[in-house]
Protein backbone atom coordinates (compact mmCIF):
# COMPACT_ATOMS: atom_id res chain seq x y z
CA UNK A 1 0.00 0.00 0.00
CA UNK A 2 2.89 2.37 0.75
CA UNK A 3 4.23 1.91 -2.78
CA UNK A 4 0.80 2.72 -4.25
CA UNK A 5 0.52 5.89 -2.16
CA UNK A 6 4.03 6.86 -3.24
CA UNK A 7 3.14 6.44 -6.92
CA UNK A 8 -0.07 8.49 -6.60
CA UNK A 9 1.83 11.30 -4.89
CA UNK A 10 4.65 11.12 -7.46
CA UNK A 11 2.26 11.51 -10.36
CA UNK A 12 -0.77 13.52 -9.31
CA UNK A 13 -0.58 15.17 -5.89
CA UNK A 14 1.01 18.31 -4.53
CA UNK A 15 3.31 17.43 -1.61
CA UNK A 16 1.81 18.51 1.68
CA UNK A 17 -1.58 19.29 0.13
CA UNK A 18 -4.83 18.24 1.87
CA UNK A 19 -5.28 15.55 -0.79
CA UNK A 20 -1.84 14.09 -0.08
CA UNK A 21 -2.52 14.10 3.65
CA UNK A 22 -5.92 12.46 3.16
CA UNK A 23 -4.37 9.78 0.97
CA UNK A 24 -1.81 8.78 3.59
CA UNK A 25 -4.62 8.46 6.14
CA UNK A 26 -6.92 6.44 3.88
CA UNK A 27 -7.64 3.00 5.25
CA UNK A 28 -7.37 0.06 2.88
CA UNK A 29 -10.81 -1.26 1.90
CA UNK A 30 -12.70 1.73 3.29
CA UNK A 31 -15.04 3.95 1.34
CA UNK A 32 -13.43 7.20 0.26
CA UNK A 33 -14.87 10.53 -0.75
CA UNK A 34 -13.78 12.43 -3.86
CA UNK A 35 -10.72 14.58 -3.27
CA UNK A 36 -9.63 18.00 -4.51
CA UNK A 37 -6.32 17.68 -6.38
CA UNK A 38 -5.76 21.44 -6.39
CA UNK A 39 -4.10 23.64 -3.80
CA UNK A 40 -3.38 27.37 -3.79
CA UNK A 41 -4.66 27.71 -7.35
CA UNK A 42 -2.41 25.09 -8.94
CA UNK A 43 -2.58 21.37 -9.74
CA UNK A 44 -0.40 18.50 -10.93
CA UNK A 45 -3.18 16.47 -12.53
CA UNK A 46 -5.53 16.88 -15.47
CA UNK A 47 -8.43 14.47 -15.03
CA UNK A 48 -10.68 13.93 -18.05
CA UNK A 49 -13.85 11.81 -17.66
CA UNK A 50 -15.39 9.88 -20.56
CA UNK A 51 -18.90 8.72 -19.76
CA UNK A 52 -21.45 6.87 -21.80
CA UNK A 53 -24.09 9.22 -23.11
CA UNK A 54 -27.75 8.27 -22.70
CA UNK A 55 -28.98 6.04 -25.50
CA UNK A 56 -25.60 5.56 -27.17
CA UNK A 57 -23.52 2.46 -27.72
CA UNK A 58 -20.21 2.07 -25.91
CA UNK A 59 -18.32 4.74 -27.85
CA UNK A 60 -16.89 6.46 -24.77
CA UNK A 61 -13.90 4.10 -24.85
CA UNK A 62 -13.24 4.97 -28.49
CA UNK A 63 -13.36 8.67 -27.63
CA UNK A 64 -10.85 8.20 -24.82
CA UNK A 65 -8.49 6.32 -27.14
CA UNK A 66 -8.74 9.06 -29.76
CA UNK A 67 -7.82 11.78 -27.27
CA UNK A 68 -5.13 9.79 -25.44
CA UNK A 69 -3.33 8.60 -28.56
CA UNK A 70 -3.48 12.04 -30.16
CA UNK A 71 -1.98 13.67 -27.08
CA UNK A 72 0.96 11.30 -27.37
CA UNK A 73 1.34 11.47 -31.16
CA UNK A 74 0.78 15.19 -31.69
CA UNK A 75 2.16 16.76 -28.53
CA UNK A 76 4.71 14.14 -27.48
CA UNK A 77 3.04 13.61 -24.11
CA UNK A 78 3.92 10.47 -22.16
CA UNK A 79 1.34 7.71 -21.93
CA UNK A 80 -1.43 8.56 -19.44
CA UNK A 81 -3.10 6.34 -16.88
CA UNK A 82 -6.66 5.12 -17.37
CA UNK A 83 -9.21 4.26 -14.70
CA UNK A 84 -12.78 3.06 -14.53
CA UNK A 85 -15.17 5.13 -12.43
CA UNK A 86 -17.29 3.52 -9.74
CA UNK A 87 -20.43 4.89 -11.38
CA UNK A 88 -19.38 3.84 -14.89
CA UNK A 89 -17.27 5.31 -17.64
CA UNK A 90 -13.55 5.96 -17.89
CA UNK A 91 -11.14 8.59 -16.66
CA UNK A 92 -7.93 9.72 -18.37
CA UNK A 93 -5.17 10.85 -15.99
CA UNK A 94 -2.51 13.30 -17.19
CA UNK A 95 0.38 13.88 -14.79
CA UNK A 96 2.11 17.27 -14.67
CA UNK A 97 5.75 17.39 -13.60
CA UNK A 98 5.36 20.87 -12.11
CA UNK A 99 2.35 22.61 -10.54
CA UNK A 100 0.36 24.42 -13.23
CA UNK A 101 -2.07 27.31 -12.55
CA UNK A 102 -5.70 26.27 -12.87
CA UNK A 103 -6.32 29.05 -15.36
CA UNK A 104 -3.80 27.47 -17.75
CA UNK A 105 -5.31 24.03 -17.23
CA UNK A 106 -8.77 25.40 -18.07
CA UNK A 107 -7.41 26.94 -21.26
CA UNK A 108 -5.80 23.61 -22.12
CA UNK A 109 -9.01 21.62 -21.60
CA UNK A 110 -10.99 24.25 -23.53
CA UNK A 111 -8.51 23.80 -26.39
CA UNK A 112 -9.02 20.05 -26.35
CA UNK A 113 -12.78 20.59 -26.42
CA UNK A 114 -12.40 22.65 -29.58
CA UNK A 115 -10.45 19.82 -31.19
CA UNK A 116 -13.02 17.22 -30.21
CA UNK A 117 -16.47 18.81 -29.87
CA UNK A 118 -19.04 16.79 -27.90
CA UNK A 119 -16.25 14.57 -26.52
CA UNK A 120 -15.20 16.32 -23.33
CA UNK A 121 -17.27 18.11 -20.69
CA UNK A 122 -16.77 21.88 -20.25
CA UNK A 123 -13.50 22.86 -18.60
CA UNK A 124 -15.34 24.51 -15.70
CA UNK A 125 -16.99 21.16 -14.94
CA UNK A 126 -13.66 19.31 -14.94
CA UNK A 127 -10.85 21.55 -13.75
CA UNK A 128 -10.79 21.90 -9.99
CA UNK A 129 -13.68 19.51 -9.43
CA UNK A 130 -13.21 16.82 -6.75
CA UNK A 131 -12.45 13.39 -8.23
CA UNK A 132 -12.33 9.76 -7.18
CA UNK A 133 -8.68 8.93 -6.64
CA UNK A 134 -8.35 5.20 -7.41
CA UNK A 135 -8.46 2.75 -5.88
CA UNK A 136 -11.58 4.09 -4.23
CA UNK A 137 -14.75 2.43 -2.92
CA UNK A 138 -18.08 4.17 -3.45
CA UNK A 139 -20.10 3.43 -0.33
CA UNK A 140 -23.40 4.11 -2.10
CA UNK A 141 -22.88 1.63 -4.95
CA UNK A 142 -20.39 -0.77 -3.41
CA UNK A 143 -18.28 -0.50 -6.58
CA UNK A 144 -14.62 0.38 -6.90
CA UNK A 145 -12.93 3.00 -9.04
CA UNK A 146 -9.61 1.53 -10.17
CA UNK A 147 -6.77 1.98 -12.60
CA UNK A 148 -6.86 -0.55 -15.44
CA UNK A 149 -4.57 -1.89 -18.13
CA UNK A 150 -5.26 0.46 -21.08
CA UNK A 151 -5.42 -2.42 -23.53
CA UNK A 152 -8.40 -3.93 -21.71
CA UNK A 153 -10.47 -0.78 -21.48
CA UNK A 154 -13.09 -1.88 -24.00
CA UNK A 155 -14.03 -4.85 -21.81
CA UNK A 156 -15.27 -2.44 -19.12
CA UNK A 157 -17.54 -0.44 -21.45
CA UNK A 158 -20.75 -1.76 -19.89
CA UNK A 159 -19.45 -1.95 -16.33
CA UNK A 160 -19.79 0.37 -13.35
CA UNK A 161 -16.47 0.04 -11.59
CA UNK A 162 -15.17 -3.20 -10.08
CA UNK A 163 -17.07 -5.51 -7.77
CA UNK A 164 -14.00 -6.27 -5.64
CA UNK A 165 -11.12 -4.20 -4.36
CA UNK A 166 -8.28 -4.21 -6.92
CA UNK A 167 -5.04 -5.66 -5.53
CA UNK A 168 -2.57 -2.92 -4.66
CA UNK A 169 0.35 -4.55 -6.56
CA UNK A 170 -1.72 -4.53 -9.73
CA UNK A 171 -2.59 -0.87 -9.26
CA UNK A 172 1.08 -0.06 -8.72
CA UNK A 173 1.97 -1.90 -11.93
CA UNK A 174 -0.33 0.37 -13.94
CA UNK A 175 1.36 3.49 -12.51
CA UNK A 176 4.96 2.40 -12.18
CA UNK A 177 6.99 3.70 -15.09
CA UNK A 178 4.50 6.38 -16.13
CA UNK A 179 6.07 9.77 -16.70
CA UNK A 180 4.83 13.32 -16.18
CA UNK A 181 4.31 16.05 -18.75
CA UNK A 182 7.18 18.51 -18.49
CA UNK A 183 6.42 22.20 -17.91
CA UNK A 184 7.85 23.23 -21.31
CA UNK A 185 5.95 20.40 -23.00
CA UNK A 186 2.69 21.56 -21.46
CA UNK A 187 3.25 25.21 -22.33
CA UNK A 188 4.07 24.32 -25.94
CA UNK A 189 0.87 22.28 -26.23
CA UNK A 190 -1.12 25.07 -24.59
CA UNK A 191 0.27 27.57 -27.09
CA UNK A 192 -0.83 25.37 -29.99
CA UNK A 193 -4.28 24.83 -28.54
CA UNK A 194 -4.89 28.50 -27.82
CA UNK A 195 -3.50 29.91 -31.06
CA UNK A 196 -5.61 32.63 -32.69
CA UNK A 197 -6.55 30.33 -35.55
CA UNK A 198 -8.63 27.36 -34.54
CA UNK A 199 -6.37 24.28 -34.49
CA UNK A 200 -6.92 21.61 -37.09
CA UNK A 201 -8.52 18.37 -35.89
CA UNK A 202 -5.94 15.96 -34.56
CA UNK A 203 -5.85 12.41 -35.81
CA UNK A 204 -4.74 9.78 -33.35
CA UNK A 205 -1.86 7.61 -34.43
CA UNK A 206 -2.63 3.93 -34.26
CA UNK A 207 -0.62 2.10 -31.63
CA UNK A 208 1.97 -0.13 -33.20
CA UNK A 209 2.67 -3.57 -31.85
CA UNK A 210 6.23 -4.37 -30.75
CA UNK A 211 8.32 -7.01 -32.41
CA UNK A 212 7.61 -9.63 -29.81
CA UNK A 213 3.85 -9.40 -30.46
CA UNK A 214 3.06 -8.13 -26.97
CA UNK A 215 1.34 -4.94 -25.95
CA UNK A 216 2.92 -1.68 -27.12
CA UNK A 217 4.14 0.77 -24.50
CA UNK A 218 1.58 3.47 -25.35
CA UNK A 219 -2.16 3.36 -25.06
CA UNK A 220 -3.77 0.60 -27.10
CA UNK A 221 -6.66 0.86 -29.52
CA UNK A 222 -7.42 -2.85 -29.19
CA UNK A 223 -7.92 -5.26 -26.33
CA UNK A 224 -4.89 -6.83 -24.76
CA UNK A 225 -4.84 -10.49 -23.81
CA UNK A 226 -4.25 -11.82 -20.33
CA UNK A 227 -0.82 -12.93 -21.57
CA UNK A 228 -0.04 -9.30 -22.38
CA UNK A 229 -0.99 -8.25 -18.86
CA UNK A 230 0.98 -11.06 -17.24
CA UNK A 231 4.06 -10.02 -19.23
CA UNK A 232 3.43 -6.42 -18.18
CA UNK A 233 3.44 -7.43 -14.50
CA UNK A 234 6.35 -9.85 -14.78
CA UNK A 235 8.46 -7.08 -16.30
CA UNK A 236 7.93 -5.24 -13.00
CA UNK A 237 8.69 -8.32 -10.88
CA UNK A 238 5.05 -8.68 -9.80
CA UNK A 239 3.45 -12.11 -9.73
CA UNK A 240 -0.27 -11.77 -10.60
CA UNK A 241 -2.67 -13.65 -8.38
CA UNK A 242 -5.75 -15.50 -9.55
CA UNK A 243 -7.87 -12.75 -8.01
CA UNK A 244 -5.99 -10.13 -10.02
CA UNK A 245 -6.63 -11.98 -13.27
CA UNK A 246 -10.32 -12.36 -12.45
CA UNK A 247 -10.64 -8.65 -11.63
CA UNK A 248 -9.03 -7.66 -14.92
CA UNK A 249 -10.44 -10.34 -17.22
CA UNK A 250 -12.94 -9.33 -19.94
CA UNK A 251 -16.58 -9.75 -18.95
Q: What is the 3-state secondary structure (H, E, C) of 50-90?
A: ECCCCCCCCCHHHHHHHHHHHHHHHHCCCCCEEEECCCCCE
**Phi/psi of residue 62, each to 5°?**
-60, -40
Write down the mean pLDDT value for the chain: 80
Q: What is this structure's pTM?
A: 0.80
Q: What is the CA radius of gyration of the chain?
A: 17
Tens-digit pLDDT profile for residues 24-73 = 877 666 778 899 999 999 999 999 999 876 556 667 888 898 899 989 99
- HSE at residue 13, side-chain half, CA atoms within 13 A, is 23
Q: Quick count: other Cβ atoms within 10 Å of Cβ 27? A: 8
* Distance (Å, whole) CA 73 – CA 70: 5
Q: Which residues pair with 82 in a beta bridge?
A: 92
* Distance (Å, whole) CA 52 – CA 87: 11
* Distance (Å, whole) CA 216 – CA 29: 32
Tens-digit pLDDT profile for residues 182-215 = 999 999 999 999 885 455 555 544 443 333 333 3
Amino acid sequence: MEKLISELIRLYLLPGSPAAQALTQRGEGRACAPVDLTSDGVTRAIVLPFRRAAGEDAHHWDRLCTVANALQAEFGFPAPAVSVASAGGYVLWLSLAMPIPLADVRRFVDGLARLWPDTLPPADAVVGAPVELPPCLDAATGRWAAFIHPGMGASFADESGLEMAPPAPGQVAFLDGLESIGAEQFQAALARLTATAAPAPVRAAAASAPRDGGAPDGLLLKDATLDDIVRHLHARNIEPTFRFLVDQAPR
